[in-house]
Chains A and B, each alone.
Chain A
Amino acid sequence: MLSAIEIKRVCKDFGSMRALVDVDLEISPGEFFALLGPNGAGKTTLINIIAGLSLADSGSVNVMGHNVITQYQQARRNLGVVPQELVYDPFFSVREVLLIQSGYYGIKHNNLWVDEIIERLDLTDKANANMRSLSGGMKRRVLVAQALVHKPPVIILDEPTAGVDVELRQTLWDFIKQLNQDGHTIVLTTHYLEEAETLCNRVAMLKEGRIIALDSTQNLIEKLVSGNSVKIRLLPDNLPLVLQPLKKSCTNGLYELRIDNYAHLEFILSALRSENIHIQEMHLQQPDLEDAFVSLIRNSGNKLQ
């Protein structure tokens, strides 16, 4: 099947800094894909290369089967990109900006679709306002709208919710989820791992220009984080000997104990009862992408060192 995005052996250096090293990645149509990684991992560089904003030193990138260099026009028609920076053209209003952007893609008379995206992104009140007068969140929505004027099958969002308030973040995610349900392939980078976890089917983790993990979100979590854990605070502050092997950590009197399943809890409770130790505070911990992420970055760091 045709890939939405196909990246083959892409390398990119900035002077002596290796921004991307032999990156291979295939994203299928309809996927909701997350690119994760710490700052400087190469996420934005990779996105820029897909978008043609940056040129790879070697390797090739195709968008919907079109090479981004040799068939750049077709590749770009199939791609909508929401840049990370809040960039805007101060000379124009929201509607003007969207109609101009449509024109760049060769689309005349795009008023109907522009009105629809203005409405869906809740920009109707600001449609005729100059870009300069808009708040950061509003500018972010316009960036999303600009990426959609030509109804691209593949949409890339580079940290779209950075610096956006909680309410707008939710609106944006709902909107992007809807786009994905309508059949658009979505690729995003985010620092809000929880969102990647709830939204994305597949995740690639980048570190120092290399993909260090690539799997479905679920698999990645299962692979990297074994089991749940429980955090308890005890009175007296004394962990029974039988429970010592389960101890993962203890911070400020809060013990974290590994539990393989929920029946395991009964064992912990009875051990505490038999020594007459009371539980003052208790939290159940479930593994999440953040744990997977931290553990992966830490492990791969060790490996590289």
Chain B
Amino acid sequence: MTGFLTLLHKELLRFWKVGFQTIIAPMVSTLLYLLVFFHVLETRIEVYPEVAYTIFLIPGLVMMSVIQNAFANSSSSMIQSKISGNIVFVLLSPLTYRAIFFAYILASIVRGLLVGLGVYLVTLIFFDIPLLLPLWAILFVILGSAILGALGLIAGILADKFDQLAAFQNFIILPLTFLSGVFYTIHSLPAGWQYLSHLNPFFYMIDGFRYGFFGVSDISPHISLLIVSMCLIAISALTINLLRSGYKLRQ
């Protein structure tokens, strides 16, 4: 347990020591999104009845910042350690594969939650946002950040260079996030796009998270919970197996 706690502590310190870059900066960029969308789209888009577009948008943006930062944390930590070579200190130690997995994932969850919470608290100053079912929101935000933490770990292990990681981020994570219903409800989409959205696991994270705020969602939160949980289990198993096999880590 001490080994796991130490690695977790180290991973938390790693982003905390550069908190301006890892927490404040992503908060600012998310709030900029909000500012722009608020001014341009506030009166033009109809989402849920009696929910103003900005209010609808805020949980989506919070979840988006959680997703992006959870992914960024584990992926950048892993690839930096690999490229600078200091991953050997972890690999030489008797830490189990599970301990390594859980430490990286938990650190990702914490960073994702800190950024998300920061965005949420700032928006609370300006807007009155309902939070009808907080436990649902917390559940989805934790599951979502855990999935992205695991995906980040996989990307960090597989990538040999920073630009490969950037490709993973720009061509997989970013499109999946943007097309998941952060900015809209999928009911406003044509049928084909609606169908495609259902194949995107990020859609369920955001829809379930939003359910925690408004008590309304595009699909049943129970289905979302089931799908998101299954995704987490599958991706965790994949990541632990990748760590156990030593692929790209123990040549």
Contacts and interface: CB of A to CB of B under 8 A. Distances in A.
B89 A89 contact: yes
Interface string A83-96: 10101111110000
A53 B91 contact: yes
B209 to A, nearest CB: 31
Contacts of A91: 13-14, 17-18
With a 10 A CB-CB cut-off, give which of B1, B2, B96 has the most chain A CB atoms: B2
A77 interface: yes
B2 A106 contact: yes
Nearest to B77: A91
A101 interface: yes
A93 B84 CA distance: 16
B92 A81 contact: yes
Nearest to B96: A73
A81 B84 CA distance: 17
B88 interface: yes
A100 B92 contact: no
Contact of A103 (B5, B86, B251): B5
Give the size category of B's interface with A.
20 to 34
A95 to B, nearest CB: 13
Interface residues of A, number: 32
Contacts of A92: 10, 13
A105 B94 contact: yes
A76 interface: yes
Interface of A: 14, 48, 51-55, 72-74, 76-77, 79, 81, 83, 85, 87-92, 100-108, 146
Given A52-B92, A74-B94, A107-B2, 15 more contacts: A51-B92, A52-B250, A53-B91, A55-B250, A76-B94, A81-B88, A87-B86, A89-B81, A91-B18, A100-B6, A101-B93, A102-B6, A104-B94, A106-B3, A106-B94
Interface of B: 1-3, 5-7, 9-10, 13-14, 17-18, 81, 84-86, 88-96, 246, 250-251
23 contacts: A51-B92, A52-B250, A53-B92, A53-B250, A54-B250, A55-B251, A73-B94, A76-B92, A89-B84, A90-B84, A91-B14, A91-B17, A91-B18, A92-B13, A101-B93, A103-B2, A103-B5, A103-B6, A105-B93, A106-B1, A106-B2, A107-B2, A146-B89
